[in-house]
Amino acid sequence: MEKICGVISFYLMNSRRTFIIIRTVSNSLIIGSLLFIILAFGPIFNTEISYRYRQWRGITFTLDKTASTAKTASKASTFGLLLGQPTPLHVEPVNRGFSIVIEKLGVNAPVVKNVNMASYKEYIEALKFGVAQAAGTAVPSESVGNSFLFAHSALDFWNFGKYAMVFTLLNKLETGDRIVIFYENRRYDYVVFKKEIVKEFDITPIKRDYNEPILTLQTCDPPGTALNRLIITARLVR
């Protein structure tokens, strides 16, 4: 009888120990998964919330000159300032050698020229430093052709650096929105006329031939995934 009781006690102790181990491992996996989701998707949520807040407050960015509001601001009450329409914030391009500014999205990034899209190592490295211009496509100074730029809307910003999410809000662009490219100290204004989603391996957008200067932007869609590609097409207007 004592042996039976001992066996039962031993079994119960081991069962409890096993249960504690399994519970600890399970809880660790759950906590780890939650932390990963927060780290991975948190920046995307933050970008979306910031964009919606700017829309709600009417905060906009512009490359055009804005009138100084210092005198008006000094006379207005705090409550009046909160209710008033904010003056568009003036943006200076990060450089005038080759850069892109999308005022609606608050995008202001350098462009890395002549990047080989067929070389994963090359374009991943290039995208750490900004938006990439696909090798073999037109540059803004050419009178005709497709200037093809691509960039991240990625989750793993810890690998790709500060430009990992430069095109996260690209899906907010609509027909009529302005995209500005600076190239060799000249400014080129484009206006969006087409927005589409293509499959991951569809290379049609980069192979399109135009008899006018066209700008094509590409990023992953939905943001943070590689399921599809979002394509924004714009034509030169100035």
**Band of pLDDT at residue 90, cut at 50, 70 and 90:** confident
Q: What is the pLDDT of residues 12-40, one digit of tens each?
A: 566 666 666 666 666 666 665 555 555 55
Q: What is the pLDDT of residues 144-167, one digit of tens each?
A: 999 999 998 766 655 667 888 899
Whether the predicted pLDDT of 46 surpasses 90:
no
Q: Give the β-pairing of 89-90 and 61-62.
A: parallel
At 169, list the tokens. Answer: 């809000």
At 65, list the tokens. Answer: 């000159």
- pLDDT for position 34: 52
pLDDT (average), residues 97-112: 95
Residue 81 to residue 128: CA distance in whole angstroms: 39
How far apart are the two ends of the chain, measured CA to CA in Å? 96
Q: What is the pLDDT of residues 170-195, one digit of tens each?
A: 999 999 999 999 999 999 999 999 99
pLDDT (average), residues 67-76: 46
Query: Backbone phi, then psi, for 214, in 5-degree steps?
Result: -125, 145
90-107 burial string, b = 16+ CB within 10 Å, else e?
A: ebebbeeebbbbbbbbbb
Given a contact cutoff of 8 angstroms between Cβ atoms, the answer to whether 133 and 98 are in contact is yes
- DSSP assignment, residue 161? G
Whether the predicted pLDDT of 109 surpasses 90:
yes
Residue 176 to residue 230: CA distance in whole angstroms: 17
- pLDDT for position 47: 74
Mean pLDDT estimate for the chain: 80
- pLDDT for position 40: 54
